[in-house]
Chains A and B, each alone.
Chain A
Amino acid sequence: DAGVIQSPRHEVTEMGQEVTLRCKPISGHNSLFWYRQTMMRGLELLIYFNNNVPIDDSGMPEDRFSAKMPNASFSTLKIQPSEPRDSAVYFCASSEDRGYQPQHFGDGTRLSIL
């Protein structure tokens, strides 16, 4: 079975550039989560979608961050303009929409903003 697929695996770009991270959840999962992981702050939830609708984006750090889920099999997280403090590993996870379901994570995108 294919797991959660994220692309790119690594991204290095200069400050001020637009960055787009992509995620394909597991087929049949209707909950999707974007996380950011850093040494200082650990794994932080940025935004959660259910049935393609954003439910809670209170973890999105600021207006430079935006996320979309145009259909059940694709989501993007965009940073524009990017800043060095955005450097982190960004994970996408999906789960079934039934109580207490575990989350299945992709292998992340390691983002470096120079």
Chain B
Amino acid sequence: SQKIEQNSEALNIQEGKTATLTCNYTNYSPAYLQWYRQDPGRGPVFLLLIRENEKEKRKERLKVTFDTTLKQSLFHITASQPADSATYLCALEDGGFKTIFGAGTRLFVKA
């Protein structure tokens, strides 16, 4: 089955900068990959989905790339704000219905 690796160390950046989070997977390329945001005491909230035949997807200040050769997805938040501080989870399909989640990377945006 798939294994997902996300940076376990927190990412600290200054307000206004671009935050870049990395998601690496180990086995076959999934049909799709998703990114979720999780705030303390809350459930994950879906942000973006990118399919295997898409290289890039954008939504407002968010951008996701999917490189099946590198087995990697990058998640970018441009013009970051303190309100973007949260844990971001990468998730990908692991055979049919099943979605597996990475451990997440915590992002802190300082004012």
Chain A interface (Cβ within 8 Å of chain B)? Answer: 4, 31, 35, 42-43, 45, 48, 50, 55-56, 91, 93, 100, 102-108
Interface of A is mostly: strand
Task: Report, nearest first, the 10 A-B pairs whose CB atoms are least far apart.
Answer: A105-B43, A102-B46, A42-B103, A43-B101, A100-B32, A105-B44, A107-B43, A91-B43, A107-B42, A106-B43
Cross-interface CB contact of B51 among A48, A100, A103, A107, cutoff 8 Å: A100
Contact of A103 among B31, B41, B46, B104 (CB under 8 A): B46
Q: How far is the CA of A55 from the CA of B51 in the complex (A)?
A: 24
Which A residues lie within 8 Å of B51 (CB)? 100
- A sample of 12 inter-chain contacts (CB < 8 A) reads A31-B97, A42-B104, A43-B44, A43-B89, A45-B99, A45-B100, A55-B97, A100-B51, A106-B43, A107-B43, A108-B41, A108-B42
A31 to B99 Cα, complex, angstroms: 12
Interface check B29, CB cutoff 8 A: no
Instruction: Judge whether B49 is part of the interface by a CB distance below 8 angstroms.
Output: yes
With beta carbons under 8 angstroms apart, the residue of B34, B43, B46 that contacts A4 is B43
